[in-house]
């Protein structure tokens, strides 16, 4: 679908100002230079296709892409899968563990992360990730990366972390509310079609006012944000969906955002 047709479809679906998400171009001016603050998320499944799209968004012919597996406790299997997913692509894949020591890491977080063209955050335990980022100062470095136009992204914990708030399975017993970095306004629910508890929990928390309206993404579907505006809605599976979920006249309403297949 061409961008013109996509925007027309979005308009026909009633997406605009007010309680609906605004789908438009967005860039921030810093001095004389326009810097687009970019985030690419998926509800689950940030594999080769999403990584390829992120690489294109950097505008670099051979971008440096860093995998940040804090949420998965630097799990080796995830790191191996990262390199496997990057293998078919014209990218320079790197990994920055969070469980480090001064003797094994000679560069600062700033030295490493701000030298990248894109940063992909792993899935895993979002609550633990946020706590580690906070005490290490990684959260502030990621904000600087975002401000500089380094493309950020990920799925699951790697999508949830960028929003003001959302739903997480990082605590015992039940899916609960969690606060994120707040780069993106509103709330988020990943794995919307893959885990039965996600949709009713998201609806309940929005209905009660505990969560702000926001974006729900199925696995294999996601959103490209420029600043806080939706630039493009994408999917890698035909039946994957993305929704804007809000409270209208006391009822929770899901508005499907038209998604384009990427390959």
Question: Would you call 156 a catalytic residue per the annotation?
Answer: yes
Q: How far apart are CA 79 and CA 133, in angstroms?
A: 19
Q: How far apart are CA 120 and CA 106, in angstroms?
A: 22
Cβ neighbours, 10 Å, residue 249: 5
Question: Would you call 72 a catalytic residue per the annotation?
Answer: no
Pick the catalytic residue from 72, 156, 187, 189.
Answer: 156
- Cβ distance 85 to 48 under 8 Å? yes
Q: Specify the residue for token string 């209905």.
A: 207
DSSP 3-state of 126: helix
Query: How many Cα atoms are found within 13 Å in the side-chain-facing hemisphere of 65?
Result: 33
Q: How far apart are CA 190 and CA 194, in angstroms?
A: 9
Pick the catalytic residue from 122, 189, 191, 203.
Answer: 191
How is 133-160 classified by DSSP, letter by letter? HHHHTHHHHHHHHHHTT-EEEEETHHHH
Apex 173 CA angle, 171 and 176, nearest 5: 50
Active site residues: 156, 191
């Amino acid at each position: 679908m061409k961008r013109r047709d996509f925007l027309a479809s979005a308009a026909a679906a009633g997406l605009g100002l007010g309680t609906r998400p605004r789908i438009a171009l967005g860039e921030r001016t810093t001095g004389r230079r326009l810097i687009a603050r970019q985030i690419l998320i998926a509800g689950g499944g940030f594999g080769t296709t999403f990584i390829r799209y992120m690489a294109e968004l950097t505008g670099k012919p051979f971008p440096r892409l860093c995998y940040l597996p804090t949420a998965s406790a630097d799990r080796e299997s995830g790191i191996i899968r990262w390199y496997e997913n990057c293998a078919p692509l014209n990218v320079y894949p790197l990994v920055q563990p969070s469980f480090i020591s001064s003797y094994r890491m000679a560069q600062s977080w700033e030295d490493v992360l701000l030298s990248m063209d894109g940063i992909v955050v792993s899935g895993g335990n979002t609550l633990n990730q946020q706590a580690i980022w906070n005490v290490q100062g990684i959260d502030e470095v990621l904000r600087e990366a975002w401000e500089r136009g380094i493309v950020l992204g990920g799925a699951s914990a790697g999508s949830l972390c960028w929003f003001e708030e959302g739903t997480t399975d990082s605590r015992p017993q039940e899916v609960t509310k969690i606060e994120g970095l707040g780069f993106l306004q509103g709330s988020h629910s990943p794995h919307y079609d893959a885990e039965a508890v996600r949709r009713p929990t998201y609806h309940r928390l929005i209905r009660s006012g505990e969560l702000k309206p926001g974006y729900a993404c199925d696995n294999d579907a996601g959103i490209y944000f420029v600043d806080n505006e939706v630039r493009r809605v994408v999917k890698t599976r035909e039946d994957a969906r993305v929704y804007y979920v809000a409270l209208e006249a006391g009822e929770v309403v899901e508005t499907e955002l038209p998604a384009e297949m990427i390959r």
